[in-house]
């Protein structure tokens, strides 16, 4: 009798229905598999597109140079003028209407990209008082191409964190006798 009671408790005894099994229709399984494949393809396509955009040369729209005094913030611009001063990877170009600070990014480090007094045409993006150069053309027709400007919300690396020098103020890491670049003209 003990064995009958044990069998009834386990659900396998006489008079009790068999345990229920979850059934999935083949149509539902096919739909789920299609959705999974599509989601995986979309994620892979988005990743591939991001990789291609990052490593493919950017197309540059050629613009006619305009007066520096009429630069509009957050807009593509082109200016032509003489190099007034050079500060490492930045330099000032001036025309009859004013002056603009040009940022050439890491490629212009060392200050050997342009020479003081040289006539250049610079095309790029004007943002926060800088022209972030994309193309620099010299008077002889030779050109230098630069990558697109960095997105303003870049990821912070180890060098971007405040450290023991943070309380010294801006420009404290410059060498002795080096002057900071002058601010762009206010118009």
Give dist(CA 89, CA 107) in Å, integer: 7
Q: Between 120 and 106, where is the model more confident?
A: 120
Give dist(CA 25, CA 27) in Å, integer: 5
Q: Residue 79 burial (CB < 10 Å; 0-12/13-18/19+)?
A: buried
Over range 116-134, report the average pLDDT: 92
Quote the mean pLDDT of the chain.
78
Owner of token pair 């040289």: 118
Written as six digits, the tokens of 23 are: 């059934």
pLDDT of residue 58: 56
Owner of token pair 């396998």: 12
Give dist(CA 86, CA 13) in Å, integer: 93
Q: Name the pTM for this structure.
A: 0.50
| Per-residue model confidence as pLDDT tens digits over 155-165 | 555 555 555 55
pLDDT of residue 11: 53
pLDDT of residue 12: 57
Instruction: Please spell the DSSP secondary structure of 167-183, one letter per residue.
Output: GG-TTTTSPTTPPPPPP
| Per-residue model confidence as pLDDT tens digits over 60-111 | 567 899 999 999 988 899 999 999 999 989 999 999 999 999 999 888 887 7
pLDDT of residue 10: 52
Q: Between 145 and 169, where is the model more confident?
A: 145
Q: Which ranges constitute the DSSP H helices of 2-25? A: 2-10
Q: Between 40 and 49, where is the model more confident?
A: 40
| Per-residue model confidence as pLDDT tens digits over 127-155 | 988 999 999 999 999 988 886 545 555 45
Q: Above pLDDT 90, what percent of the chain?
A: 37
């Amino acid at each position: 009798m003990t064995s009958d009671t044990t069998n009834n408790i386990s659900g396998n005894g006489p008079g009790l229905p068999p345990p229920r099994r979850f059934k999935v229709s083949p149509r539902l399984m096919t739909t789920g598999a299609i959705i999974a494949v599509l989601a995986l393809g979309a994620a892979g396509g988005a990743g591939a597109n991001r990789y291609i955009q990052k490593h493919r040369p950017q197309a540059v729209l050629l613009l006619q140079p305009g007066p520096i005094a009429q630069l509009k913030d957050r807009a593509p611009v082109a200016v032509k003028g003489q190099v007034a001063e050079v500060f490492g990877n930045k330099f000032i170009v001036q025309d009859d209407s004013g002056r603009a600070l040009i940022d050439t990014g890491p490629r212009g480090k060392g200050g050997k990209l342009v020479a003081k007094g040289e006539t250049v045409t610079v095309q790029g993006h004007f943002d926060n008082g800088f022209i972030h150069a994309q193309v620099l053309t010299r008077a002889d027709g030779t050109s230098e191409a630069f990558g697109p400007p960095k997105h303003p919300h870049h990821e912070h690396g180890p060098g971007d964190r405040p450290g023991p020098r943070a309380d010294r103020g801006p420009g404290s890491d410059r060498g002795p006798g080096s002057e900071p670049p002058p601010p762009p003209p206010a118009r």
